């Protein structure tokens, strides 16, 4: 049963201190009963909630147990002892969690939470690429389906892509599916990078003109850009880095004024932790990430909805590629 805000325990009310700078009090009063119900259900069902940085602050800061970028979630999914994992992100992330925890129940609150980048390539596309350039290893971004991972030699994230590529010790690699990430990796290594023309619908919308306009409007602005953005946008940035690299930069460097050229809920989540930093928000929302809501998380836990399964042989082969990525570790120099 979801109670009213006035009936909630003090610990639930205290959660508001985490998000008060980014969530208005009126909105919080509407959210708080559902947050309390989710946190109660987690205990009853021995469940853990994993949330990506692009989730909204009330999810990221108030119901999630483990948070981070794609690599961090993959690492944490591999270590959890919970019986049930609720993945607050998109479908390929839930698949990754299931691949690493075949004996656990993995839930995603909305089956339609997909990914434009993951949908840009299929397993047959990867097999065709291998026929075109036989013997060239396939490095696959984790933003892909389990079937695509199963056709790959090793996975990577934007945080460790350069390290993964160089760990193979070969002169050429296929780097799929994000074309812009592949182009960025090519600027950071002597390995020849063969890309695929997949794009993220969030990051490809940014333009260099937009970045320059923000600099003119906000003097002293520090611009951090994700490598899934077009190269012309990256050329305008002060730092190019993965989700985790951007988070670290803001926490460690405390720029007076910053713009994150990425999905805009990430700015809200860091702003809640760094109120002394002024965030300029060139906001582009991921419609897939935003399919995950507090109410859907509650219903997912309450009814064990929606369970994610991966065919065992696909999971076995995909796990090899994921484990090879995790063995390389998180990138810090380039990520």
The pLDDT tens digits of the residues spanning 267-291 come to 999 999 999 999 998 878 999 999 9
Report how many domains make up the chain: 3
pLDDT confidence band for 75 (50 / 70 / 90): confident
- Residue 299 placed within a domain: yes
The reply to whether 19 and 152 lie within a common domain is no
The pLDDT confidence band at residue 12, using thresholds 50, 70 and 90, is: confident
Q: In angstroms, what CA-CA distances link 275 with 6, 54, 319?
A: 27, 18, 39
Mean pLDDT within 23-39? 95
- Whether residue 334 is predicted with pLDDT greater than 90 in this model: the reply is no
> pLDDT, tens digit, for every residue of 130-163?
999 999 999 999 999 999 999 999 999 999 999 9
What confidence score (pLDDT) does residue 4 get?
Answer: 56
Give me the half-sphere count of Cα atoms (radius 13 Å) on the Cβ side of residue 259: 26
For 21, which DSSP code? T
Judge whether residue 320 has pLDDT over 70.
yes
Same domain membership, residue 12 and residue 84 = yes
Question: Over 80: is that where the pLDDT of 8 sits?
Answer: no
| Domain that residue 128 falls in | 118-198+311-328
Domain membership flag for residue 103? yes
Q: What is the pLDDT of residue 73?
A: 85
Res 7: pLDDT: 59
**Residue 243 in 3-state DSSP?**
helix
253 and 106 both lie in a single domain: no
| pLDDT at 3 (0 to 100) | 58
Interval 173-222: pLDDT, tens: 999 999 999 999 999 999 999 999 999 999 999 999 999 999 999 999 99
**Mean pLDDT, all residues of the chain:** 93
Indicate if 129 and 110 belong to the same structural domain: no
Q: Residue 333 falls within a domain, yes or no?
A: no
The answer to the question of residue 130 being in a domain is yes
Please give the average per-residue pLDDT across 46-60, as a whole number: 97
Q: Please compute the mean of the pLDDT values over residues 13-26 and round it to a whole number.
A: 92
Task: Copy the structure tokens of residue 299.
Answer: 């219903």
Asked if residue 47 and residue 18 are part of one domain, the reply reads: yes
Indicate if 77 and 130 belong to the same structural domain: no
Structure tokens, 208: 């260099």
Q: Are residues 109 and 21 part of one domain? A: yes
Q: At a CB cut-off of 8 Å and minimum separation 6, what does 298 contact?
A: 2, 34, 37, 38, 41
Looking at the domain assignment, is residue 334 inside a domain?
Answer: no
Dist. CA 183–CA 185, nearest whole Å: 5
Among 61-65, 209-213, 328-332, whose mean pLDDT is lowest?
Answer: 328-332
Q: Are residues 322 and 179 in the same domain?
A: yes
Asked whether residue 220 falls in the same domain as residue 86, the answer is no
Q: How confident is the model at residue 9 (pLDDT cuts 50, 70, 90)?
A: low
Residue 187 lies in a domain: yes
Same domain? For 317 and 189 the reply is yes
The answer on 193 and 320 residing in a single domain is yes
Q: Is residue 143 part of a domain?
A: yes
171 and 296 share one domain:
no
Burial class (CB in 10 A: 0-12, 13-18, 19+), 250: buried
Strand (E) or helix (H) holding 169 = none
- Domain containing residue 23: CATH number: 3.40.50.10800
Taking residues 108-115, what's their average pLDDT?
97
Whether 335 maps to a domain, the answer reads: no
Stated pTM of the model: 0.91
Indicate the pairing of strand 172-176 with strand 239-240.
unpaired
């Amino acid at each position: 049963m979801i109670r009213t805000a006035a009936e909630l325990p003090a610990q639930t009310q205290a959660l508001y201190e985490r998000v008060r700078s980014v969530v208005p009090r009126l909105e919080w009063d509407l959210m708080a009963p559902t947050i309390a119900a989710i946190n109660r259900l987690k205990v009853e069902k021995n469940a853990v909630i994993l949330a990506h940085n692009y989730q909204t602050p009330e999810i990221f800061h108030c119901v999630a147990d483990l948070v981070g970028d794609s690599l961090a979630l993959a690492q944490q999914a591999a270590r959890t002892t919970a019986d049930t994992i609720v993945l607050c992100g998109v479908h390929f992330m839930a698949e990754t969690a299931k691949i690493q925890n075949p004996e656990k129940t993995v839930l995603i609150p909305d089956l339609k939470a997909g990914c434009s980048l993951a949908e840009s390539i299929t397993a047959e596309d990867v097999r065709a690429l291998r026929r075109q350039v036989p013997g060239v290893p396939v490095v696959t971004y984790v933003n892909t389906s389990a079937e695509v991972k199963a056709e790959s030699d090793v996975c990577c994230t934007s945080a460790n892509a350069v390290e993964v590529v160089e760990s193979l010790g070969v002169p050429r690699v296929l780097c799929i599916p994000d074309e812009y990430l592949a182009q960025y990796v090519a600027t950071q290594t002597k390995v020849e990078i063969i890309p695929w023309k997949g794009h993220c619908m969030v990051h490809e919308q940014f333009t260099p003109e937009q970045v320059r306009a923000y600099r003119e409007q906000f003097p002293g602005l520090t611009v951090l850009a994700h490598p899934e953005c077009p190269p012309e946008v990256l050329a305008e940035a002060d730092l190019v880095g993965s989700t985790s690299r951007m988070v670290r930069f803001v926490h460690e460097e405390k720029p007076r004024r910053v713009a994150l050229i990425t999905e805009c809920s990430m700015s809200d989540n860091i702003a809640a932790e760094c109120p002394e930093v002024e965030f300029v928000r060139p906001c582009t929302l991921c419609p897939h990430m935003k399919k995950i809501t507090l109410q859907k998380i509650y219903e997912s836990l309450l009814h064990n909805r929606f369970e994610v399964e991966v065919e065992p042989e696909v999971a076995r082969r995909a796990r090899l590629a994921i484990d090879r990525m995790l063995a390389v570790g998180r990138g810090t120099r380039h990520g």
